C-alpha cells in the first residue's frame, strides 16, 4: 500500500459483536463503539506521498438500490475505524477505512515471532477458515514511520452485512516498527483508486460493485465528533444517508483520480488572512487526522489563531480563547465551507487538565504530487463527504455538506 495512513499508538479495545438491522431500502449494520480520549501522541504527521504511475480505470455502476452502512469508531476523536470479517466463519478485525490508500491488510497468525505488533492484535488464521485460498505473492508497504511486509492471500470478506465475497488481501508477517504495536486498529482497508494499490491488487470496493453487492461505486463518511456521543459515525457504501447532513451536497470533480484530489480555490482565516490565494490542490483523506498544508501557509494560519509552536511541529492553543477565535473557511466549487474553533481545535483531557492543540499542521509535499493541502478528519468530522468513483456517464467527484449533529431534526 502506498501512500501509508497515519498510524497512532493506542491500547487495543475489545471488538463488539455485529448488530444487524434490516430496513426495507438497505441493509444497515450499526456497531456500538468505544471512544478513546485524545492524546498528543496521536497528532503525528500523516503519510508520505508518491506520484501514481498511471490513471486508474473507474469502476462502472451496477443496477439496484443497495446501500450498506459500516459504523465507525471515533479513534482519539481524530481517527476512525470499523469492523470487518475475514474467512468462513468470519474472523473479526478492526480496520481503518482509508481514502488515501487502496490495499487491504491484517496481521497474520503466521507472523514472525519477533514482530511485536502481531502479539497485540487480532491475527488472521488461514487454518481456521474453510474458504481460504493461498496466493503466496510477496508484498511490502513502506510507511513514513515504519514498514510491513508479508504475503497476499484470498478469502471471503464480511463487511456491512455483505458476506461471502472473495478478495485478495495482505497477511502481514513482519511489522518491525513499534508504531504498529499499540495502534488501536488491526489493519487497513483502502478506499482510494486502484492505481494506488501495491502489486495491482483490486480494492474490495471494486469487487463488491462488480458483483452487484453494492449499488454503485459511491461511499460516504459521517464522522461523529460529538465527545458526548457513544458512536463514532458511519461509512455508507453505495450512497449517502441524507440524515447525516444539511443539504444540498456540493459536488466537485476529482482532478487526479488516484487520491481523492480536488481543486481548492482559497483558504480564509477570519476576515484578514488569505491563503491558497491562486488556488491549490487538496486531498480528502480519512487516514490523516489533521489538516495539513505548506509550511509557510500553516505557520501564518496558526499565528492568526494564536497558536504557539512546539518542537513536535504541533501548535498549542489557549483553551479559554476558543469562543473568540476566528473561523477558518475553505472555498470549494464556489462554496465556503466553514470551520469554527470548536471544529479545528483538538481538545485533550488528561488527568483533569485540558490541553488544546491546533488541528492545522505543516507538511510539505514535494512536486510533482505537491504542493497540496490534506483535509483529514478535522475537516471531515465537520462535513459529510460523498466519494463517487463515477461511471461511463461522468468522472469521479466528491460531494460535501455540513454534517448534521446527532439528534438534530431534518
From 155, 206, 231, 285, the catalytic residue: 285
CA-CA distance, 265 to 256, in Å (whole number)? 16
Q: Is the pLDDT of residue 31 over 60?
A: no
Q: What's the rounded mean pLDDT across residues 96-105?
A: 89
pLDDT confidence bin for 78, thresholds 50/70/90: very low
Hey, what domains does the chain have and what are their CATH numbers? 29-36+67-214 (2.40.70.10), 241-402 (2.40.70.10)
pLDDT value, residue 367:
86
Q: Is the pLDDT of residue 292 over 50?
A: yes
Whether residue 285 lies in the annotated active site: yes
- Give the pLDDT confidence of 350-369 residue by residue, as tens digits: 777 888 999 999 999 888 88
- Give the pLDDT confidence of 130-146 residue by residue, as tens digits: 999 999 999 988 755 55
pLDDT confidence bin for 13, thresholds 50/70/90: very low
- Give the pLDDT confidence of 249-273 residue by residue, as tens digits: 999 999 999 999 999 999 999 988 9
- Give the pLDDT confidence of 230-247 residue by residue, as tens digits: 577 888 888 888 888 999
Q: What's the rounded mean pLDDT across residues 199-226?
A: 87
With beta carbons less than 8 A apart as the criterion, state whether 313 and 295 touch.
Answer: no
Q: What is the pTM of this model?
A: 0.84
Average pLDDT value for the chain: 79
Q: What share of the chain in percent tops pLDDT 70? A: 75
Residue labelled with grid coordinates 505548506:
294
SS (H, E, C) the chain: CCCCCCCCCCCCCCCCCCCEECCCCCEEECCCCCCCCCCHHHCCCCCCCCCCCCCCCCCCCCCCCCCEEEECEEECCCEEEEEEEECCCCEEEEEEEECCCCCEEEEECCCCCCCHHHHCCCCECHHHCCCCEEEEEEEEEEECCEEEEEEEEEEEEEECCEEEEEEEEEEEEECCCHHHCCCCCCEEEECCCHHHCHHHCCCHHHHHHHCCCCCCCEEEEEECCCCCCCCCEEEEECCCCHHHECCCCEEEECCEECCEEEEECEEEECCCEEECCCCEEEEECCCCCCEEECHHHHHHHHHHCCCEECCCCCEECCHHHHHHCCCEEEEECCEEEEECHHHHEEEEEECCEEEEEECEEECCCCCCCCCEEEECHHHHCCEEEEEECCECCECCEEEEEEECCCCCCC
Whether residue 186 lies in the annotated active site: no
CA-CA distance, 284 to 275, in Å (whole number)? 18
Q: What's the rounded mean pLDDT across residues 374-398?
A: 91
pLDDT value, residue 279:
96
CA-CA distance, 389 to 254, in Å (whole number)? 9
Amino acid at each position: 500500500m502506498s501512500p501509508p495512513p497515519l498510524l497512532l499508538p493506542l491500547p487495543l479495545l475489545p471488538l463488539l459483536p455485529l448488530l444487524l438491522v434490516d430496513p426495507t431500502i438497505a441493509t444497515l449494520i450499526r456497531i456500538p463503539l468505544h471512544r478513546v480520549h485524545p492524546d498528543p501522541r496521536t497528532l503525528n504527521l500523516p503519510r508520505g506521498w508518491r506520484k501514481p504511475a498511471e490513471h486508474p480505470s473507474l469502476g462502472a455502476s451496477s443496477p439496484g438500490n443497495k446501500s450498506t452502512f459500516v459504523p465507525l469508531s471515533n479513534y482519539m476523536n481524530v481517527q476512525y475505524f470499523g469492523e470487518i470479517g475475514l474467512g468462513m466463519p468470519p474472523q473479526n478485525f478492526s480496520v481503518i477505512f482509508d481514502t488515501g490508500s487502496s490495499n487491504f491488510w491484517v496481521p497474520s497468525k503466521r507472523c514472525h515471532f519477533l514482530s511485536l505488533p502481531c502479539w497485540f492484535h487480532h491475527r488472521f488464521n488461514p487454518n481456521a477458515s474453510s474458504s481460504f485460498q493461498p496466493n503466496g505473492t510477496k508484498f511490502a508497504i513502506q510507511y513514513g514511520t515504519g514498514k510491513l511486509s508479508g504475503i497476499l492471500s484470498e478469502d471471503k470478506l464480511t463487511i456491512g452485512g455483505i458476506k461471502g465475497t472473495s478478495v485478495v488481501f495482505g497477511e502481514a508477517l513482519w511489522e518491525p516498527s513499534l508504531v504498529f504495536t499499540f495502534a488501536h486498529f488491526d489493519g487497513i482497508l483502502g478506499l482510494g483508486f486502484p492505481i494506488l494499490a501495491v502489486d495491482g491488487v483490486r480494492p474490495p470496493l471494486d469487487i463488491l460493485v462488480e458483483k452487484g453487492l453494492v449499488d454503485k461505486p459511491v461511499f460516504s463518511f459521517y464522522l461523529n465528533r460529538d465527545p458526548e456521543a457513544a458512536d463514532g459515525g458511519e461509512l455508507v457504501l453505495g450512497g449517502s444517508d441524507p440524515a447525516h447532513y444539511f443539504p444540498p451536497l456540493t459536488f466537485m470533480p476529482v482532478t487526479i483520480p488516484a487520491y481523492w484530489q480536488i481543486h481548492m480555490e482559497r483558504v480564509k482565516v477570519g476576515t484578514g488572512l488569505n491563503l491558497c490565494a491562486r488556488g491549490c490542490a487538496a486531498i480528502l483523506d480519512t487516514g490523516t487526522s489533521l489538516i495539513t498544508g505548506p509550511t509557510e501557509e500553516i505557520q501564518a494560519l496558526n499565528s492568526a489563531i494564536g497558536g504557539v509552536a512546539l518542537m513536535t511541529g504541533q501548535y498549542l492553543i489557549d483553551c479559554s480563547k476558543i469562543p473568540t477565535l476566528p473561523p477558518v473557511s475553505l472555498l470549494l466549487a464556489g462554496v465556503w465551507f466553514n470551520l469554527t474553533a470548536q471544529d479545528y481545535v483538538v481538545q485533550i483531557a488528561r488527568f483533569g487538565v485540558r490541553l488544546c492543540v491546533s488541528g492545522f499542521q505543516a507538511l510539505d509535499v514535494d512536486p510533482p504530487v505537491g504542493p497540496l493541502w490534506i483535509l483529514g478528519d478535522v475537516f471531515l468530522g465537520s462535513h459529510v463527504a460523498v466519494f463517487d468513483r463515477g461511471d461511463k456517464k461522468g468522472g469521479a467527484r466528491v460531494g460535501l455538506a455540513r454534517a448534521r449533529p446527532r439528534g438534530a431534526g431534518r
